Amino acid sequence: MGLAGIPKPPRFARRVLPVVWPVGAAAVTGLATPVIVAGAFHAFVDKRARLFRVSCLGVGLVWVDVRMLLDCWRLRLKDRDGTGPTWEDDHEQVFLAGLNRAMILGKRWVGFEVRLDDRMHFGNEGAPLVAFARHAGPGDSIALAWLLGHTAGRMPKIVLAEALRWDPMVDTLLTQMRSYFVPSRTGAGDDRVEGVRELARGLKHDDVLLLFPEGQNFSPDRRRRLISRLREAGQELRARRAVSLWNTLPPKTKGVVAVLDERPDADVMIVGHAGFGHLSTPREIWDAIPFTDRPFLVRTHTYAAGDVPDDAPAIAEWLDERWTEIDDWVTAYEGSGTA
């Protein structure tokens, strides 16, 4: 079913979860302590110390999450009405600091490290930026949001699944940052694109809207299922398009067209990454830990607003070409023996 099929928590749960989550985090830490101890002893057998690494990382990320939630409470006590001039900026700083802590933990415990294939170009300083990114492998959304926030110096505005509201920190913090939570498929009648339009409409010159046009994390199984569904539906042209891509899913254009239609003044960054895309099952991820010889390699290309098509059919064709380039680059990188 995936995240898209999970409905958001009911209003009562959204009120209760922020209160009980710090207590729950303490309980998780207590339960994880014997696992960490067992992992330390198991490291004599498993020289890669995977159980120890993963359990320490998990507990660390739980407390990064809790700290971000507590920072949101602190800001609420400071400005009870949420109308102060620095309200949104303060929450953005909490977000960036939390991303930085998470990335530090990822590098320390499992060797997760972001590297650039080439220099990044961030568009014109006076113009907003939209980033259309490949979606594949563990941690890619966090890594890309961190990269754009800390390297590009632009505040990520994120489109994410409504199911993630079950994390009270995500619900509290990203709501204050005007992120868009895409309604689940169970929510009949919701206009899923209008929220993307609204988010694009509100972009400031130092923002970047991060969107994953594939709509879901790539995996070989998802690729095969998508091809089968397209063929069963008689969409042979799209099925052939999906067959031609080995490392990505064909991008969906509805949200992309909505963003570009709403903000024709925005520069466009196409974001590809390699190294983790084929780690799509828990077993594959486990076997690859630690990632010390497997960097999360990012390649970007930025197009000026005037160089991007402005009508839907041309945008779809242009985006397909960009995704073919990403797919070819990933194939060349992972087939070179470098990965």
pLDDT at position 189 is 46
What would you report as the CA-atom Rg of the chain, rounded to the nearest whole angstrom?
Answer: 21
Q: Tell whether the model's pLDDT for residue 279 goes beyond 70.
A: yes
pLDDT at position 338 is 52
Q: What is the tens place of the pLDDT at every residue in 179-218?
A: 888 887 645 445 678 889 999 998 888 889 999 999 888 9
Average pLDDT over residues 121-126: 83
- CA–CA gap between residue 268 and residue 257 (Å, rounded): 12
Q: Give the least confident one: 12-26, 43-57, 169-183.
A: 169-183
Average pLDDT over residues 85-110: 94
- Domains (ranges, CATH) in the chain? 3-334 (3.40.1130)
For CA atoms 46, 52, 57, 58, give the dihedral sign. positive
Q: What is the tens place of the pLDDT at every residue in 36-76?
A: 999 999 999 999 999 999 999 999 999 999 999 999 999 99
